[in-house]
Each structure stands twice: as structure tokens, then as C-alpha cells.
Amino acid sequence: MMFWYDHDVGGWGWFAMSAGMILFWALVITVVVLCVRALDGPRRHTPTPAPPTPDGILRERLARGEIDEEEYRRRLSALHAGPLTRP
């Protein structure tokens, strides 16, 4: 009288259920990762500011009053003169 054992799931049934469960959780994880990336995207992809150039540093120092115009021009010409050569 144990008729419910006639409907037992065989080996392929267990395989199909296991594969289905793995695919289900892979889909759930993929959706969560894509949502997190979509919400975090705009802040993450902002360009980083370029490092200051030597000319820019000199202009900032002149603007802050750390050096006067004569010092600025002297240092700027030294920058653009090229590499120093030893005698």
C-alpha cells in the first residue's frame, strides 16, 4: 500500500533539480551584482584629476604669494631651459 514510492525521482531528476538550483542561484547572484554595479557606477567612473605640472605648481605658488613675479619668471625659465649639464 505504499503507492507514493512509484513516483520517486530517478538519477536524472536529481541532476535536473540540482542544475536548476545552481542556475537559479547564479541568476540571483548575477542580478544582485549588476544592480550594485549600476548603483555604484557613476561615482566609481569619475576621472581622477591629473597630477599638477611644474608650471602649474609655480603658478599656484605665485598666486598664493609664496614667490614674487621675479622668482616665478626665473624658475619658469630654468624649467624650460632643459636638463642641467655639468661642466
Residue burial 7-21, b: 16+ Cβ < 10 Å; e: rest: eeeeeeeeeeeeeee
| Residue 86, pLDDT score | 58
| Residue 38, pLDDT score | 84
Q: Output the pTM of the full model.
A: 0.42
- pLDDT means per 10 residues in the chain (87 residues)? 59 87 97 89 71 92 94 91 66
| Residue 42, pLDDT score | 66
| Residue 19, pLDDT score | 94
Cell numbers at residue 80, please?
624650460
What are the boundaries of each domain within the chain?
52-81
| Residue 6, pLDDT score | 58
